[in-house]
Amino acid sequence: MQQAIAILDSGVGGLTVVKEVMRQLPQEKIIYFGDTARAPYGSRHPEEVNLFTTQIVDYLIQYSPKMLVIACNTATAVALEDIRKRVSVPVIGVISPGARAAIKTTRSGIVGIIGTVGTIRSGAYEQALKSISPGTTVYSHACPQLVPIVESGNFDGPDTMKAIEDSLTELRSKPIDCLVLGCTHYPFLSGLIGEVVGRDVSLISSADETAREISTILYHQHMLVTNNETPIHQFFCSGEPILFKQITTNWLREQIQDTPIVWQVPNFL
């Protein structure tokens, strides 16, 4: 049986990474876990986020994945190192890839970051950006309103636009030339976020760079799939499955049209 790439998030946000992985590596089998029953993670205590992440990893590891992707910035910020010590397969998060993508894009070296309260409070992006390019100026801002909006499937409309405008008021006055979407939920709103910040500010999602890192790791470990068999993906959510399934199939529409999916609600929580 094909070994999967296991990808997890607090909810539907990690699907923004899944989409890019499916685009770049269409032969690879994906196991996705969205902890929709306990989302959002962003305002929870770091110890709780660490515990939830560990529980999900322990669950996913039963499926013998060949690698684990923590497609949640909040969980990456607090749990990445612990999870690396816990499992024997390669584990990557989304913060280093996001920071690399920002440094590749910025011309002025003045970068904005939006994320959850937990991600922004951790300072992990600032640290990652400055470790690549110490002279970078970073302006960051937490946007706690946005994850619940995405989880409810309201990707447009006046209320969503108002929440985005309110969330970005402070950063709009800063001379940034790129804005890191430091939460994997935010690319669902990138059209509206782009309208609010304007064309002169490039939006950075970590999805593309994360998929590239997955590909590099699997290549070097000789673990990329080489046959042409269609993979059968598995999608888990811990909460109500109808909306999760709807958001997932709409978001991944082009990637999954010829690909079978198994949907499951695990009962370990």
User: Residue 37 or residue 132: which is nearer to ligand DGL going by CB?
Assistant: 37
**Among positions 36, 185, 247, 256, the unique one binding ligand DGL when judged by CB under 6 A:** 185
**CA dist 43 → 9, 183, 212, 245, 260 (Å):** 15, 13, 29, 25, 35
**E strand or H helix at 80, and its extent?**
helix 73-86
Under the binding rule (CB under 6 A), the answer on residue 183 touching ligand DGL is yes
* Residue 113: CB minimum distance to ligand DGL, A: 12
Cβ proximity of 220 and 19 under 8 Å:
no
1 contact partners, CB below 8 Å, separation of at least 6: none
Instruction: Output the six-digit token pair for 155.
Output: 């990707």
Under the binding rule (CB under 6 A), the answer on residue 97 touching ligand DGL is no
Under the binding rule (CB under 6 A), the answer on residue 205 touching ligand DGL is no
User: Residue 122 or residue 202: which is nearer to ligand DGL going by CB?
Assistant: 122
For 149-191, the three-class secondary structure string (H helix, E strand, C coil) is HHHCCCCCCHHHHHHHHHHHHHHHCCCCCEEEECCCCHHHHHH
Site string for ligand DGL, 35-54 (x = CB under 6 A): ----xxxx------------
Query: Which of the ranges 26-34, 180-188, 194-202, 254-262 carries the binding residues for ligand DGL, by CB under 6 A?
Result: 180-188
CA distance 50 to 124: 15
Helices (H) and strands (E) in the chain, counts: 12, 10
Under the binding rule (CB under 6 A), the answer on residue 17 touching ligand DGL is no
Q: Which residues are catalytic?
A: 72, 183
**Among positions 70, 147, 180, 218, the unique one binding ligand DGL when judged by CB under 6 A:** 147
* Residue 264: CB minimum distance to ligand DGL, A: 21
Under the binding rule (CB under 6 A), the answer on residue 187 touching ligand DGL is no
**Among positions 36, 96, 116, 140, the unique one binding ligand DGL when judged by CB under 6 A:** 116
Cβ proximity of 262 and 232 under 8 Å:
yes
Under the binding rule (CB under 6 A), the answer on residue 100 touching ligand DGL is no
Is 206 in a helix, a strand, or coil? coil
Under the binding rule (CB under 6 A), the answer on residue 119 touching ligand DGL is yes
Q: Is the dihedral of CA 54, 60, 64, 67 positive or negative?
A: negative
User: Residue 147 or residue 237: which is nearer to ligand DGL going by CB?
Assistant: 147
Residues that bind ligand DGL (CB under 6 A): 9-11, 13, 39-42, 72-74, 116, 119, 147, 183-185
